Amino acid sequence: MLLPKRVKYRKAHRGNRKGVAVAGSTVSFGDYGIKAVEPGWLKNNLIETVRVILTRRLRRNGKLWIRIFPDKPVTKHPVESRMGKGKGDIDKWVAVIRRGRVLFEIGGVPESYARESFKLIAYKFPFKTVFVKRH
């Protein structure tokens, strides 16, 4: 699973997902990419699932770039615990995704194959995505 080795602060505020991604909004490494159209959080196990699916599809033909990393801790209180007693324990790690962020990139494969591969993983995301090409 993806998670940071160390962080400056153990627990973080929820923050906001408003705005448009400036960094990481273009296809930089590969030929094709999948871009977020809506904001959201991506859990570390979902990123790992997508990585496994795409690496199996590529089968040493192309190359895969993961452009996101889950560096935000999300806390949760235990079930049926009373109110108060501070902030809960870390439940999961998420990557904050803003509109326009390129999530994954593929290179070295035909466009039709890349489009088909990204269609397989697009329904797993909790937000809308779009297929993009390098200019």
| CATH number of the domain to which 114 belongs | 3.90.1170.10
Residue 36 lies in a domain: yes
Rounded CA gap, 127 and 94, in Å?
Answer: 14
- The pLDDT value recorded for residue 135 is 80
Rounded CA gap, 82 and 80, in Å?
Answer: 7
- The pLDDT value recorded for residue 2 is 85
Token pair of 101 as six digits: 């962020």
pLDDT in tens, 41-75: 999 999 999 999 999 999 888 999 999 999 999 99
Residue 47 lies in a domain: yes
- The pLDDT value recorded for residue 95 is 95
Please compute the mean of the pLDDT values over residues 13-42 and round it to a whole number: 93
- The pLDDT value recorded for residue 60 is 85
Residue 3 lies in a domain: no
